[in-house]
Amino acid sequence: MISTLLQLAALFGLLSVLAVGGGAGVIPDMQRAAVDVHHWMSAPEFLDMFAISRAAPGPGSLIVLLVGQRAAGPAGAAVAVIAMFIPSSLLAWVAARFWHGAGEASWRRTVERGLAPIAVGLTIASGLALIRGTESGWAAYAVTGAATLLLAVTDLHPFALLIAGAAVVLVFG
Amino acid sequence: MTSPTPIPPGRTPLSALFLGFLNIGAMSFGGGLAAWIRRETVQRRGWLDDRQFLAGYALSQIIPGATNVNLAVFIGTQLRGAVGALAAVAGLMVVPMALIVAAGALYAAARSGPAGPWIARVLAGMGAAAIGLNLATGIRLGRTNLRTPVGIGIAAVTAIGVGLLRVPLLYALATMIPLSILLAWTGRRA
């Protein structure tokens, strides 16, 4: 129990400071750790948790609450949430305090430009890893393809597509 | 160009900060959180202007961690310092956390029951659409932020390496971040 809590704290504390470009980028590493390394759950269970955390409002990174709960109960959920959000929030707080003093320094704009493609790549990687690791059947692939296209080119509310995706896989999956 | 009016610290009540972000947390079903944050803090409450919001959003993406939680920290800090950051993050998280705990408990109880296979299919369908939301967000971010072949190449190598070839994130970042910043720096001088 204690060792599982320590594993959760170490895993999410590390992912917290590695999650450049948002929480979605560390989903593949989270999945590998939770499923393949620590065997807290199966790959389909992880996708279910991903779906619940995406269907709920708020930050998608709250998936860590479900992973922690599955691994070690309520204490695990608390440890996972604290480990995932406190380190990065402290960094954000420090950065916010110094932001206005930094002005439009040229090094800052260079760093911004360098990080932007990494963030884009990681966001796409998280989708690719989830397709590769958890999906099967033409209905699921079709839903992912259609949702990608519609959300990329239209202003449809994402929740409408979650409902439509559930209906399609329920009927045809 | 009018310069933004600085908002004096201590003016926004902590309760308003908490409730504003509670509203955002409760409404943002299916993602699009940054759009909800802008709507509430810029359009509805006028706590900051668009320029301040965009600066905060860029910063929140550069800082590791959940972008929108970082943005709540940034806005909370700007308005009321560390306590403001706590109020904003608490407001943002409390409703989603309660919903996720409830949904997780229902899921655990129902999965082994007679409705289990149906629930699994509903969640598989929502998961498939949520994957599409990830990919579409990546495409949208790429369209607005990547304007050079080098940037597109870095994004593609990162996406394929981490997403398909399963290169561990730590190694990928340790290689790609210095490389990308170096290329951005040399590209700027060219």
Residue written as tokens 């800082």? B63
Cβ contacts of A33 within 8 Å, gap of 6 or more: A11
Residue written as tokens 């079709």? A142
Looking at chain B, which residue has its C-alpha nearest residue A57? B29
Distance (Å, rounded) from C-alpha B83 to C-alpha B76? 8
Q: In angstroms, how far is the first alpha carbon of chain A from the final one?
A: 38
Band (pLDDT 50/70/90 cuts) for residue B33 is confident
Interface contact A58-B92, CB threshold 8 A: yes
- Among residues A18, A17, A15, A52, the alpha carbon closest in space to that of A37 is found at A15
Interface contact A61-B69, CB threshold 8 A: yes
- Among residues A86, A70, A72, the alpha carbon closest in space to that of A12 is found at A86
pLDDT at position B176? 92
B174 touches A at CB < 8 Å: no
Residue written as tokens 């981490």? B162
pLDDT in tens, B69-121: 999 999 999 899 999 999 999 999 999 999 999 988 888 787 777 877 888 78
B183 touches A at CB < 8 Å: yes
Q: Which of A26, A56, A146 sits opposite B96 (nearest CB)?
A: A56
Cβ contacts of B158 within 8 Å, gap of 6 or more: A117, A118, A120, A121, A122, A125, B172, B176
Chains A and B form CB pairs within 8 A to the count of 385
pLDDT in tens, A48-79: 898 888 778 889 899 999 999 999 999 999 99
B181 touches A at CB < 8 Å: yes
pLDDT at position A100? 65
Looking at chain A, which residue has its C-alpha nearest residue B33? A58
CB A141 within 8 A of CB B135: no
Interface contact B185-A89, CB threshold 8 A: no
Interface contact A91-B123, CB threshold 8 A: no
Asked if the model's pLDDT at residue A167 lies above 90, the reply is: yes
pTM of structure: 0.74
- State which amino acid sits at residue A139: A
Residue written as tokens 């599982």? A4
pLDDT at position B59? 77
pLDDT in tens, A88-144: 999 999 999 887 666 667 777 787 788 788 878 887 888 898 788 766 789 999 999
Interface contact B184-A168, CB threshold 8 A: no
Interface contact A121-B158, CB threshold 8 A: yes
Cβ contacts of B144 within 8 Å, gap of 6 or more: none
Distance from CA of A11 to the nearest CA of B (A): 12
Residue B80 CB-density burial (10 A; 0-12 exposed, 13-18 middle, 19+ buried):
buried
Looking at chain A, which residue has its C-alpha nearest residue B152? A117
